[in-house]
Amino acid sequence: MPELPEVEVVRRGLAVHTVGRRIGSVSVYSDRAVRRHLGGRTDFEGVLRGRQIQEIRRRGKYLWLVLDEGDAVLAHLGMSGQFRIGPGVAVDRVDHPHLRVRLRFDDGGPDVDFLDQRTFGGMSFVLAGAELPEQITHIARDPLDPEFSLEAAVAAVRAKRTEIKRALLDQTVISGIGNIYADESLWRARVHYLRPTATLTRPVARSVIEAATAVMTEALTAGGTSFDALYVNVNGESGYFDRELDAYGREGRPCRRCGTPIRREPFMNRSSYFCPRCQRRPRR
């Protein structure tokens, strides 16, 4: 699943391959892939034609292609979205069942394809705004943002009245963290996922956020995690951070710190993985 490090890998790949290029034509193969766009796929295709891509920006798991004249294409990968630079895949991807959008360029160079199996991802045509498109102003800064404030994030987490994992997954508190990195961060900080934020001391809250920052920074260095085969970079390559995962997906396998079997429990319609010894369940 693409979380912050994976989306950043995609952002960099898109920047290398698209900045400065002018869109020639756009083909939308799935209505669901174009979100909240009045006029639907036809208008979306028309409005992008001839526009030059100037920059690829990102906040949390959202990224956007800044176009000339102050517009942008806002995109989210959802669970299974991929941007791929073509050619490079053996099959003819026009026939690929997951191909949702194809951007062609007037320089005749490689296309950019948006593929998405589970169709939770998509893109929309928006105003770029001064700093952010207005559609994502509710998204908090992420730990890779140069202006990310650890102390502000600590305060935001401690101000919530919920469990720590819910707060970590809340993109308005800190952005970029999904289920995998939430579990990894909590394992590193030795904090149980059900711990109420109200009981977190400032230093404990700080250690959780520092762990999140560290684990995502390491994943970015490694090229993004590839625990789920759905994630690939713009060249179709998986990262190799999966070997480093300590908690997520390791049910029944020994904790790398203490050897106790990692436990999996249902939480928020997904799973939480944790070490029952290192991460003590809060009393309630």
Partner DNA sequence: CAAACTACCTGACTGC
Partner DNA sequence: TGCAGTCAGGTAGTTT
Output the six-digit token pair for 80: 């299974």
Q: Please say whether the beta carbons of 281 and 164 come within 8 A.
A: no
Instruction: Assess 238 for contact with DNA (CB under 7 A).
Output: no
Answer positive or negative: Cα dihedral of 110, 85, 87, 222. positive
DSSP letter, residue 196: B
State yes or no: residue 27 binds DNA (CB under 7 A): no
Is 264 in a helix, a strand, or coil?
Answer: strand
Q: Is 101 helix (H, G, I), strand (E, B) or coil?
A: strand
Neighbours of 229 (CB within 10 A): 9
Alpha helices per DSSP H over the chain:
4-18, 40-48, 150-159, 164-169, 179-189, 202-221
Instruction: Report, in Å, the least distance between residue 197 CB and DNA.
Output: 8
CA torsion, ordered 11, 15, 16, 19, to nearest 10 deg: 160
Near DNA by CB under 7 A: residue from 123, 140, 169, 234 = 169
Q: Applying CB under 7 A, which of residues 60, 110, 143, 224 lies at the interface with DNA?
A: 60
Q: Which among 85-93, 103-111, 126-134, 261-269 is the span making contact with DNA, rule CB under 7 A?
A: 261-269
Q: Which of 21, 84, 158, 166 touches DNA (CB under 7 A)?
A: 166
Site string for DNA, 125-154 (x = CB under 7 A): ----------xx-x----------------
Region near DNA per CB under 7 A, out of 65-73, 175-183, 187-195, 233-241: 175-183
Cα atoms found within 13 Å of the Cα of residue 101, Cβ hemisphere only? 28
- Could you say whether residue 98 binds DNA (CB under 7 A)? yes
Q: Any contact of residue 204 with DNA (CB under 7 A)?
A: no
Q: Which of 14, 102, 109, 118 is CA-nearest to residue 64?
A: 14
The minimum distance between CB 85 and DNA, in angstroms, equals 22
Asked whether the bond before 254 is cis by omega within 30 degrees of 0, the reply is no
Active site (catalytic) residues = 2-3, 61, 270
Interface with DNA (CB under 7 A), residue from 150, 210, 271, 276: 271
- The torsion angle over the Cα atoms of residues 254, 260, 265 and 267, rounded to 10 degrees, is -90
Among 97, 108, 146, 203, binds DNA (CB under 7 A): 97
How many chain residues touch DNA (CB under 7 A)?
37
Which one of 152, 268, 280, 281 is in contact with DNA (CB under 7 A)?
268
State which residue, 126 or 211, has the beta carbon closest to DNA: 126
Does 120 sit near DNA (CB under 7 A)? yes
Query: Taking Cα atoms as reference points, which of 223, 272, 219, 218 lies closest to residue 247?
Result: 272
Single out the segment in contact with DNA by CB under 7 A; choices: 64-72, 103-111, 159-167, 275-283.
159-167
Pairing of strands 62-67, 81-85: unpaired
> Which one of 18, 54, 82, 171 is in contact with DNA (CB under 7 A)?
171
**Binding-site ranges for DNA (CB under 7 A):** 1, 3, 32, 36, 60-62, 76, 78-79, 97-98, 117-120, 135-136, 138, 159-163, 166, 169, 171, 178-180, 248, 264, 266, 268-271
